[in-house]
Amino acid sequence: MTGTVPSSRSAATDVDVRPSLDAPAVGFSPAPRVFGPLTRQMFVRYAGASGDMNPMHYDEFVATAAGYPSVFSQGMHQAALLATFATDWLGPSNVRRFQVRFREQVWPGDVLACAGVVTAVEERPDGVLVTVDLTCTRQTGGVAVSGGADFLLPR
Amino acid sequence: MSAPTGTVGTPYEYPVERGKIREFAIAAQSEAPEYFGPGAVIPPTFLTTASRWAPDGARVQVGFEQSRTLHGDQEYVFHGPPPRAGAMLYATERLAGRYEKAGRRGGTMRFAVVVTEFRDASGALVAESRATLIETAKPATAPTEESR
């Protein structure tokens, strides 16, 4: 597993990736996390983990016969990577909503940067509800996936 | 055959499994310890694995032509902490809505919203998945996310 984790991870982890009990302020943005370059093995691993066995994501013959230059990543794979960024930041148990919109295709060799920014902070009787905007951007600058999430942080 | 709005699929059991959570978290390149212990919590998009448990009749047929169908948007809502390994959930798909928009290059884009409710044994609503599927006006040049 460690072989698939980019080296930028460790630096980010120590600084601000783990959930903080101090509610982040509106406008706060942690260090982005970079995934990739993406490999066909990653697509296959996601296909098996998710159960989405659409061959367009791992069978070169099927993908090229359909007119694509190669296989391409599952949109839900990018969504899962963006979710990893979000839960590393605000805590896996705290998530209450996670939404994505699929925008651009992602190809083998792509490098994805996942980033987020706090857009709202609301005091609730049961904690602090933090709303964030999330984006997963390709090395071209094109947005592969955009979305948002709510996390309920315990006091 | 296109199901009308309000069509509900057959409910089905969906066991939340520790090994599947671990496999999914690794594919998502996460090392968060919360995903790897005996009481592992599910990652935010993990409920996508539920449909592999769906028997015939459980999935709503939106009736879109597959080569023109895109997965446009996906949302998960958790009505409390996300489920953990060992939980048994009961999933029900519902065709929550249909609408249309004019395509950028002419024609009509059709949209369908499929909501899956996940309840516990007491019937309490634990989580919801909301998928927006799009049938493009012309053959799609972008991926079909899932065969429907």
Asked which of A136-140, B2-6, B24-28, B42-46 is least confident by mean pLDDT, the reply is: B2-6
Task: Report the mean per-residue pLDDT for chain B.
Answer: 91
* Residue B71 near residue A102 (C-beta atoms within 8 A): yes
CA distances from A153 to A51, B11, B81 (A): 31, 32, 11
Q: Is the pLDDT of residue B146 over 50?
A: no
In this complex, the residue of B31, B80, B143 whose CB is nearest that of residue A5 is B31
Percentage of chain A modeled with pLDDT above 90: 84
Which of the residues B45, B79, B111, B129 would you substitute to probe the A interface, choosing the one with the greatest number of A C-beta atoms within 10 Å?
B45
Q: What is the pLDDT of residue A22?
A: 53
Residue carrying the six token digits 């790897």: B36
What are B88's strand-pairing partners? B15
Instruction: Quote the crossing angle between the two packed helices A75-90 and B18-27, to the nearest 10°.
Output: 100
Q: Are strands A143-153 and B125-135 parallel, antiparallel or unpaired?
A: unpaired
CA distances (Å), A85 to each of A18, B7, B30, B141, in order? Answer: 10, 36, 8, 28
Tens-place pLDDT, residues B15-63:
999 999 999 999 999 999 999 989 999 999 999 999 889 998 888 989 9
Alpha helices in B1-148 (DSSP H): 18-27
Give the β-pairing of A33-35 and B69-78.
unpaired
- Coil, helix or strand for A127? strand
Amino acid A41: pLDDT: 98
Mean pLDDT of chain A: 88
Q: Cα–Cα distance between A6 and B116 in angstroms, integer?
A: 34
Per-residue buried b or exposed e for A76-115, using 16+ beta carbons within 10 Å of the residue's own CB: bbbbbbbbbbbbbbbbbbbbbbbbbbbbbbbbbebebbbb
Token representation of residue B98: 């249909």
Strands across the sheet containing B88-102: A33-35, A112-124, A127-137, A143-153, A95-102, B69-78, B125-135, B108-119, B88-102, B12-15
Polymer length in residues for chain B: 148
Helix (H) or strand (E) holding A47: helix A40-50
Q: Which CATH class is domain B12-147?
A: alpha beta
pLDDT of residue A98: 98
Q: Indicate yes or no: CB of A83 within 8 angstroms of CB of B28.
A: yes
- Beta-carbon neighbour count of residue A123 at 10 Å? 9
Burial class from Cβ neighbours inside 10 Å (0-12, 13-18, 19+) for residue A43 reads buried
pLDDT at residue B6 in the model = 87
Q: pLDDT-based confidence at B2, cuts 50/70/90? A: confident
| CB spacing of A84 vs B29 below 8 angstroms | yes
Choice among B18-22, B63-67, B123-127 with the minimum mean pLDDT: B63-67
Query: What residues of chain B lie within 8 A of the CB of A75, using their CB?
Result: 71, 143, 145
Quote the pLDDT of residue B30: 97
Q: Supply the pLDDT for residue A63.
A: 95
Answer whether A51 sits within 8 Å of B32, measured CB to CB: no
State the complex-level ipTM: 0.91
pLDDT over threshold 50, residue B138 = yes
The domain locations on chain B are 12-147
Per-residue pLDDT, averaged over A26-52, amounts to 97
How confident is the model at residue A5, as a pLDDT?
A: 38
User: Which among B18, B20, B29, B67 is the top mutation candidate for probing chain A, defined by the most A β-carbons within 10 Å of its own β-carbon?
Assistant: B29
Q: Which of A1-10, A82-91, B91-100 has the lowest mean pLDDT?
A: A1-10
Assigned token pair, B142: 């972008």
Cα–Cα distance, A59 to A54 (Å, whole number): 9
Q: Average pLDDT, stretch A33-37?
A: 97
Q: Which of A38, A59, A84, A111 to mutate to test the interface with B (most CBs of B within 10 A)?
A: A84
A4 vs B29, B34, B145: nearest CB? B29
Model confidence at B123: pLDDT above 90? yes
Inter-chain residue contact A52 with B78, CB threshold 8 Å: no
Check residue A17 and give its pLDDT.
44
CB contact under 8 A, B78 and A95: yes
Q: Are the Cβ atoms of B49 and A49 closer than 8 angstroms?
A: yes
* Higher-confidence position of B28 and B66: B28
CB contact under 8 A, A102 and B73: yes
Burial of A8 (0-12, 13-18, 19+ CB in 10 A): middle
Question: Chain B residue with minimal CA distance to A63?
Answer: B143
Q: Which among A53, A6, A35, A38 has a CA at the least distance from the CA of A106? A: A38
List pLDDT tens digits, range A61-98: 999 999 999 999 999 999 999 999 999 999 999 999 99
Q: Using the predicted structure, report yes or no on whether residue A120 has a pLDDT greater than 90.
A: yes
